[in-house]
Amino acid sequence: MKTLDPVWGVYTPSDEAPWDLRRVTHLHRRAGFAAAWDELQRDLKDGPEASIDRLIAGKVSLHSPSEFDSTANLLADAAVAANEPGRLKAWWFYRMLFGPDPLGEKLTLTWHNHFATSIAKVQDLSAMRRQNDTFRKLCRATFGELLNSSVREAALLVWLDAPANRKGHPNENLGRELMELFTLGVGNYTEADVKEAARCLTGWTIEDGKFAEVATRHDDGEKTVVGKTGKWTGADLVRVLLENPATAKRLAWRLCDVFFGEKAVSPEALQSLADGLIANNLDIGWAVGTILRSKAFFADANIGTRIKGPAEFITGSARALEMFDPAPSTLALADWCGRMGQDLFEPPNVGGWNGGRAWVGARSMITRANFVAALVDGTNAGRPKAHDPSELAKRHGLPTDANALITFHCRLLLGGDPTPALTARLAKGMDRKMVALLLSAPEYQLG
Amino acid sequence: MAEGYHMLNRRTFLKSSSLLALAPTVPVFVTRTARAAEPAKDARVLVVVQLDGGNDALNTLVPLKNETYQKLRPRLKIADKDAVKLSDNFGLHPSFRQADKLIKAGQLLAIPGVGYPNPNRSHFESMAIWHTAKTDPEEYKGYGWLGRALDTSGGDSYTITNDVPRALRGRRSAAIALTRLEDLTLADAGTVKNATGPEAQQDLLAFVRRHAVDGTTAAEKMSAMAKATDGGNYPGTTVGERLKLIARLLKADLGTRVFYTVQGGYDTHATQQFTHSNLLFEFAGAVNAFFADLQTAKLADRVTLLAFSEFGRTIKENGSAGTDHGTAGVVFLCGPNVKSGVIGSLPSLTELDKGEPKMTTDFRQVYATVLTDWLGIKADVLGGSYETMKLFS
């Protein structure tokens, strides 16, 4: 294989790029949903290699209850049984807030965005939950495994009208999105390819809530898709698309979109990662590991250059402030997330959320500020007590005078000491109002 | 009521004036509103409704006495006798009986066959083309046609959607997205104002900060208009609620010239008959109620509504009693100032290009006409020269 671009080389701490609180908080914000003070201190001491190993192994949280898996399953079962979408959204917030594997949850969210499917049309919580579990189970697998499972999920098949696509009665919905969104990306196929792809996929349907192929509905004639000709089935189509280099490029783009800030990856570095993916059988785990360990990931250009998405903003704030016991209502958190523009399980369309600067607008800034007020106050976030910054500082043996509290919260939430100007701005609020000021500040929206 | 409006307008103006004293921390759109505070009351307003997903034009504006149409749609066709007659050759889907008042008053205009050359059948690509009025892939990822128009004319826009649509994105013009009035109320305005901080150097931080300032200012405006009249008898549908909210914002007289909202669900690939009928029922009912409400508030004369979809659907129904992504579609203009009936012609259903009809009206001609003849904005922001049509009376 071609050698990877040097920016993908392993980061080692140096005077110019030290392993400090700034980089530890950066790692947790991007690879997970921020971290509590004890987790930050542990990783600061253990160094990058051990910290990243832990993230990849999914054993990060020091605040995950021992009965996490069984509780999570109960919550999902109950949400499905009650047929309440809000509770399914709350289940996911429970997982993000309390789970031992924040990187896994972040990747699950990434695949939910990539294969964006909405309850609004699917109307089947059981299928939505199964799809979500598939994303989670295969979040670090090869893209081939993930794609093959994802396109056979009942929720996605309903969402893209697969059962209506039969021999002689083509329905292009699945074929088109499979090429445009899931694999090749715009510009790498023609309208004729869409029609041929739809023919390959004829006969795909759902029986007893599961994927099935009906041979009599399948068009078994010859098709030509992106220049390859054969009597392709749906499985053949997926294979042909996986072999196309445009798919590796789109996969590399998707992962960089999650882990990098604006303009932090050059087109050459992106192409190099795509080449690496091809050489590694489109192994997502390989790419994620390469990214998280890389010089590029820890470069100054990548720190604080990304706008936090609503789920990151909400979960990260609650995790960093150690709101575990009592925790805010996950139902309330899911509702706030929707109001900020990221309604989990209900993406705006098959293209998913645009992310980046699209998260920010006058209304969403108001909503973020209102959420912050609710979170620190407790009441409108379903938490029986308010946030007490002194109590948090005491828990970690830190001083509790006003200035010390400002410094502590800036280290925890921004990864560094405040400038005198920021200290003056935050000093306009006392106790939890100071924390509300910090969480509402433009600086905190970046991560 | 007149006095109430006067007072509100005056209050808004005073608020803006006091904000001006705080320059340069005042966001762009507020200074502009303050500058335009006096004439804003009479300014003409455009309301855009995006019929999202690709509206089946052929079953919306139905060609009458047309055998080809009836053959293309063995299961889905609308019988001539059921259509709501709009001209000798066209009738609307029966759901448009919900817009009875509007149609009788001659305030509904339909334009068939609206599209662009080399139609793109991807939702996102085609929507981007309609939003930007650009067909070149290099260009249709950029600023929107209304955002660019507002860049030159000044004025802000409100969108009753979760996100700001590309159509409203401009280099300078601010678009505010909301779905309910509470979305623009700050729980702790004092804290948020203190949090904003000084002008930032870093581009991304400056971007976030500018929107934080926009947010606090919008919240101030909204609390000033919170007592504005409610009113209007709307159907309890999503699109009805959204148009009702637009009417409230109009009554608050914020000086806004462009409003935008979306009615989703038009991507009817399978068993579309009832779905499509319901969608049009909700659309027609909401638009009818909207203009009735504005009429009562004596605002209707200032308002034109434009409804479009990213494409029409395949003229031939598919094997699952639905229709797939097609090409040219139907555009509606509504309001007391538009011509009534049908302008433009139905594309031939037999002389086809890649199996679908060829457009008869370029959508940019409609945009150019709306910009020049309604909003009074030069159409060169569209980035080309497009012949205007006679769409307004």
pLDDT at B387: 95
pLDDT at B6: 32
pLDDT-derived band at B230 (thresholds 50, 70, 90) equals low
Percent of residues in chain B assigned helix, strand, coil, to nearest 5: 45, 15, 40
pLDDT at B24: 33
Nearest to B154 by CA among B385, B366, B377: B377
- CB-based contact A366 B186, cutoff 8 Å: yes
Residue A118 lies in a domain: no
- With the CA atoms of A85, A89, A90 and A93 taken in that order, what torsion angle do they form, in degrees rounded to the nearest 10? 170
Residue A45 lies in a domain: no
pLDDT at A382 over 90: yes
Instruction: Report the run of H or E that residue A368 belongs to, with start and end.
Output: helix A362-377
pLDDT at B11 over 80: no
- CB-based contact B176 A421, cutoff 8 Å: no
Domain range enclosing A335: 310-445
Q: Which residue has the higher pLDDT, B248 or A34?
A: A34
Per-residue pLDDT, averaged over B251-278, amounts to 91
Instruction: Report the run of H or E that residue B228 belongs to, with start and end.
Output: none
pLDDT at B158 over 80: yes
**Cα→Cα distances B336→A191, B43, B258, B292, B390, Å:** 41, 15, 17, 11, 15
pLDDT, mean over chain B: 86
Which of A199-208, B64-73, B223-232 has the weakest average pLDDT? Answer: B223-232
CA distance B208 to chain A (A): 6
Q: Which residue has the higher pLDDT, A239 or B220?
A: A239
Sign of CA dihedral B162, B163, B164, B167: negative
pLDDT at B136: 85
pLDDT at B132 over 50: yes
- CB-based contact B163 A428, cutoff 8 Å: no
pLDDT at A105: 98
Residue A216 near chain B (CB below 8 Å): no
pLDDT at B1 over 50: no
Q: CATH code for B6-115+124-363+374-382?
A: 3.40.720
pLDDT at B172: 64
| C-alpha span between A396 and A400 (Å, rounded) | 11
Q: Which residue has the higher pLDDT, B230 or B261?
A: B261
Burial of B168 per CB tally in 10 Å (0-12, 13-18, 19+): buried
Nearest to A445 by CA among A251, A306, A252, A298: A306
Q: Where are the alpha helices (DSSP H) in A99-233?
A: 102-114, 119-122, 125-137, 143-150, 154-159, 173-177, 191-200
Q: Which of A118, A313, A365 to mutate to test the interface with B (most CBs of B within 10 A)?
A: A365
DSSP-derived 3-state class of residue B226: coil
Cα–Cα–Cα angle for A3, A9, A13, nearest 5°? 165
Nearest to B355 by CA among B312, B310, B316: B316
pLDDT-derived band at B38 (thresholds 50, 70, 90) equals very low
Q: What is the pTM of this model?
A: 0.76
Closest partner residue to A348 (CB to CB) among B163, B218, B219 is: B163
Report the residue of chain A nearest B270, measured CA to CA. Answer: A164
* Chain B contacts in chain A segment 247-266 (CB below 8 A): 261-262
Report the residue of chain A nearest B163, measured CA to CA. Answer: A341
- CB-based contact A339 B183, cutoff 8 Å: yes
Closest partner residue to A442 (CB to CB) among B52, B177, B196 is: B196
CA distance A370 to chain B (A): 6
pLDDT at A354: 84
pLDDT at A402 over 50: yes
Kindly provide the b/e burial profile for residues A45-74, where b requires at least 16 CB atoms within 10 angstroms of the residue's own CB: eeebeebbebbbebebbebbeeebeeebee
Q: Which residue has the higher pLDDT, A173 or B278?
A: B278
Instruction: Report the run of H or E that residue B149 belongs to, with start and end.
Output: helix B145-153
Chain A residues in contact with B325 (beta carbon < 8 A): 172, 176
Q: Which residue has the higher pLDDT, B388 or B184?
A: B388
Complete DSSP assignment for B28-88: HHHHHHHHTTTGGGG--EEEEEEETT---GGGTEEETT-HHHHHH-TTTPPPGGGSEE-SS
Q: Give the rounded percent of residues in chain A with a pLDDT score beyond 70.
A: 100
pLDDT at A4 over 60: yes
pLDDT at B25: 36
Token couple for B242: 């959204």
pLDDT-derived band at B229 (thresholds 50, 70, 90) equals low
pLDDT at B293 over 70: yes
Domain boundaries, chain B: 6-115+124-363+374-382
Per-residue pLDDT, averaged over B306-311, amounts to 98
pLDDT-derived band at B7 (thresholds 50, 70, 90) equals very low
pLDDT at B371: 97
Per-residue pLDDT, averaged over A290-296, amounts to 98
Between helix A245-259 and helix A267-279 the angle, nearest 10°, is 120
* Total domains present in chain A: 1
- CB-based contact B196 A369, cutoff 8 Å: no
Between helix B273-296 and helix B238-251 the angle, nearest 10°, is 20
Per-residue pLDDT, averaged over A54-62, amounts to 96
Chain B residues in contact with A410 (beta carbon < 8 A): none
Q: Which residue has the higher pLDDT, A3 or A30?
A: A30
pLDDT at B255 over 80: no
pLDDT tens for each residue of A301-331: 999 999 999 999 999 999 999 999 999 999 9
Sign of CA dihedral A21, A22, A23, A27: positive
Long-range contacts of A247-251 (CB under 8 A, 24+ apart): A247/A143, A247/A183, A247/A184, A247/A282, A248/A274, A248/A275, A248/A277, A248/A278, A248/A282, A249/A185, A249/A274, A250/A183, A250/A184, A250/A185, A251/A143, A251/A277, A251/A282, A251/A284, A251/A287
pLDDT at B135 over 80: yes
Residue with tokens 């309890």: B236
Chain B residues in contact with A375 (beta carbon < 8 A): none
Residue A341 near chain B (CB below 8 Å): yes
Instruction: Report the run of H or E that residue B177 belongs to, with start and end.
Output: strand B175-177
- CB-based contact A429 B325, cutoff 8 Å: no
pLDDT-derived band at B151 (thresholds 50, 70, 90) equals confident
* Chain A contacts in chain B segment 62-101 (CB below 8 A): none
Chain A residues in contact with B124 (beta carbon < 8 A): 180, 186, 349, 351
pLDDT-derived band at B16 (thresholds 50, 70, 90) equals very low
pLDDT at B173: 73
Q: Which residue has the higher pLDDT, A363 or A304?
A: A304
Q: For residue B332, give every residue at least 6 positions away whose Cβ sits within 8 Å of its Cβ, in sequence order, or none.
A: B108, B109, B110, B111, B305, B306, B307, B308
CA distance B187 to chain A (A): 6
* Chain B contacts in chain A segment 142-161 (CB below 8 A): 161
Residue A45 near chain B (CB below 8 Å): no
pLDDT at B17 over 70: no
pLDDT at B231 over 70: no
pLDDT-derived band at A242 (thresholds 50, 70, 90) equals very high
- CB-based contact B164 A361, cutoff 8 Å: yes
Token couple for B324: 């797939």
Nearest to A235 by CA among A245, A227, A225: A225
pLDDT at B226: 61
pLDDT at B35: 33
Cα–Cα–Cα angle for B242, B248, B252, nearest 5°? 145
pLDDT, mean over chain A: 96
Burial of B151 per CB tally in 10 Å (0-12, 13-18, 19+): middle
- CB-based contact B318 A341, cutoff 8 Å: no
Residue A343 lies in a domain: yes
Q: Which of A179, A303, A308, A363 to mutate to test the interface with B (most CBs of B within 10 A)?
A: A363
Q: Give the rounded percent of residues in chain A with a pLDDT score beyond 90.
A: 93
pLDDT at A414 over 80: yes
pLDDT-derived band at B37 (thresholds 50, 70, 90) equals very low
Residues B221 and B178: beta-carbon distance below 8 Å: no
Tell how strand B61-63 and strand B175-177 pair up.
unpaired
CA distance A2 to chain B (A): 31
Residues A164 and A171: beta-carbon distance below 8 Å: yes
- CB-based contact A164 B319, cutoff 8 Å: yes
pLDDT at A203: 97
Residues A267 and A308: beta-carbon distance below 8 Å: no
Burial of B172 per CB tally in 10 Å (0-12, 13-18, 19+): middle
pLDDT at B18: 34
Residues B36 and B43: beta-carbon distance below 8 Å: yes
Nearest to B52 by CA among A66, A350, A218: A350
Q: Which of B50, B161, B211 to mutate to test the interface with A (most CBs of A within 10 A)?
A: B211
pLDDT at B28 over 60: no
pLDDT-derived band at A19 (thresholds 50, 70, 90) equals very high
Residue A356 near chain B (CB below 8 Å): no
- CB-based contact B319 A180, cutoff 8 Å: no
pLDDT at B2 over 60: no
Residue A383 lies in a domain: yes
Residues B51 and B276: beta-carbon distance below 8 Å: no
* DSSP-assigned beta bridge partners for residue B45: B303
- CB-based contact A369 B192, cutoff 8 Å: yes
Phi first, then psi, for residue A351 (nearest 5°) are: -80, -10
| C-alpha span between B160 and B242 (Å, rounded) | 6
Q: What is the largest CA-CA distance in chain A?
A: 77
- CB-based contact A421 B192, cutoff 8 Å: no
β strands within A201-287, DSSP E? 204-207, 210-213, 223-225, 228-230
Residue B129 near chain A (CB below 8 Å): no
Tell how strand B303-309 and strand A228-230 pair up.
unpaired
Per-residue pLDDT, averaged over B334-347, amounts to 97
Closest partner residue to A358 (CB to CB) among B163, B196, B319 is: B163
Residues B62 and B112: beta-carbon distance below 8 Å: no
pLDDT tens for each residue of A68-111: 999 999 999 999 999 999 999 999 999 999 999 999 999 999 99
- CB-based contact B318 A169, cutoff 8 Å: yes
